[in-house]
Amino acid sequence: MSIKEIKDKLAKYFSTRPEIKVGYIFGSKAKGEKNRLSDIDVAILIDEKKATKNLSYRYKAKVLTELMGILRTQKVDLVILNESPLFLCFRVIRDGLILYSKDEIKRIRFEVKIMSRYLDRKFYYDRHVNLSLATIAKEGIL
């Protein structure tokens, strides 16, 4: 299935789900670097009113199953941005493609919030990584 077909099918699916406010595709498929081992990385932002603290496993399983059926593959990875770590949300926003946006104002507010939080912490992320790498280089992994 071509990337255009994937994008079209996902956008159509997102439009049928009232709780999904924004839908992205990210990862190797979004970058056009697919190979036979590539999966389809999908991220969704759920309406805050519907997104409880911990979305039910049943909801996630249902959406993932529907996506697998629509895309005719089991190689689908679903990320729900409302409950994902900051670094992953930033990667989706930075590297992903927006396939569907029900409310542009909410999408932009979400993206600005994530980018702002990430950039506020970037110095500390970078420092931690550099210190960890220096320790590994000096002492080895074990």
Cα–Cα distance measured from residue 136 to residue 120, given in angstroms and rounded to the nearest whole number:
26
* The pLDDT of residue 61 is above 80: yes
Mean pLDDT, rounded, of the chain? 90
Tell me: pLDDT of 77 over 90: yes
Please give the average per-residue pLDDT across 126-133, as a whole number.
Answer: 91
Evaluate whether 68 touches 105 at the Cβ level (below 8 Å).
no
Q: Cβ distance 64 to 41 under 8 Å?
A: no
Burial 119-134 (b: 16+ CB within 10 A, else e): eeeeeeeeeeeeeeee
Q: C-alpha 98: how far from its chain's center?
A: 10
In this predicted structure, the answer to whether residue 114 has a pLDDT above a threshold of 80 is yes
pLDDT of residue 49: 76
- Residue 11 one-letter amino acid: A
- Is the whole-model pTM more than 0.95? no
Give 7-52 pLDDT, tens digit per residue: 899 999 999 999 999 999 998 877 777 677 788 999 999 988 766 6
CA quadruple 93, 78, 98, 5: dihedral sign: positive
CATH number listed for the domain at residues 3-139:
3.30.460.10
Let me know if 115 is exposed, middle or buried by CB neighbors in 10 A (0-12, 13-18, 19+).
middle
C-alpha 67/C-alpha 76 separation (Å) is 7
State the pLDDT at residue 59.
87
Whether the per-residue pLDDT at 57 is higher than 60: the answer is yes
| Whole-number pLDDT of residue 29 | 77
pLDDT at 88 over 90: yes
Is 22:102 a contact under the CB 8 Å cutoff? Answer: yes
How confident is the model at residue 66, as a pLDDT?
Answer: 97
* CA atoms within a 13 Å half-sphere pointing along the CA-CB vector of 6: 22
pLDDT at 51: 62
Per-residue pLDDT at 3: 82
Domain boundaries along the sequence of the chain: 3-139
